[in-house]
Amino acid sequence: MPSRDPLSDNQIEAALADLDGWTRDGDRVVKTYTFGDFREAVSFVVRVAFHCEAHNHHPELTNVYNRVTLAFNTHDAGDKITEMDLALARAIERFAWTSE
């Protein structure tokens, strides 16, 4: 299981260099996905929800029509970015699809 210890700024920046479209927003890693329509966006939300529930780690999730924004940090680590957040971002990238 990935570590829940807070990462350094350098560790976070290095990891984000390999995560296309993911950025740092304070103490969160964030990405917005754009889909063809609302139905595609919601189906992505459901897939993310099941995946995150299986790992007992849950993002801040926002859906507006065809856009879904995910933001991760680890509550158990004082709401800081940990390897667990980055591991879930990588996992989501493996199954994410978009219309753009």
Sequence spans of domains, the chain: 9-95
Is 100 a residue whose pLDDT tops 70? no
- For 4-54, the pLDDT digits (tens) are 899 999 999 999 999 999 999 999 999 999 999 999 999 999 999 999 999
9-95, CATH topology level:
Gyrase A; domain 2 (3.30.1360)
Give residue 2's pLDDT.
Answer: 82
DSSP 29: E
Is 70 a residue whose pLDDT tops 90? yes
Is 99 a residue whose pLDDT tops 70? no
Cα–Cα dist 40/61, whole Å: 15
Own/partner contacts of 90-97, CB < 8 Å, gap of 24 or more, are 90/19, 91/51, 92/48, 92/51, 93/19, 93/20, 95/47, 95/51, 96/33, 96/44, 97/35, 97/40, 97/44
Predicted structure pTM score: 0.93
Q: 100 or 69: which carries more pLDDT confidence? A: 69
